[in-house]
Amino acid sequence: MAQMASTLAQRVSSAYNKVLDSRLNETMRFLTVYSIILSIPPIVSGFYGENVKLPLADASWSWQFTIIITLVLIVLSIWFIFNKHFWK
């Protein structure tokens, strides 16, 4: 009787661990995608923050140009992630 109870407890424990591992995998996948998307703005703004002569850096609308580049790259990365089924 004690051996049956021990076996049952082990099975329930392993099933619960599998559910927790599955949820952890989903959470880590979401956080990875979120961090990839959030890493784009610092990269783009970092290029324009350096002391390097970049195209359109001296224009009066260069800040808006940087934001447009950032938004385009974010939209492309989101499209790529969902189109290539990295999310599923």
pLDDT tens digits, residue range 8-24? 888 888 888 788 788 88
Strand ranges, E, within the chain: none
How many separate helices (H) and strands (E) can be counted in the chain? 3, 0
pLDDT tens, residue by residue, 42-86: 888 787 777 667 777 777 777 788 888 889 999 998 898 888 876
In a 10 Å sphere around its CB, with 0-12 CB exposed, 13-18 middle and 19+ buried, how is residue 33 labelled?
middle
Helix 62-83 vs helix 2-38: crossing angle, to nearest 10: 150
Sign of the dihedral defined by the CA atoms of residues 40, 44, 49, 50, in that order: positive
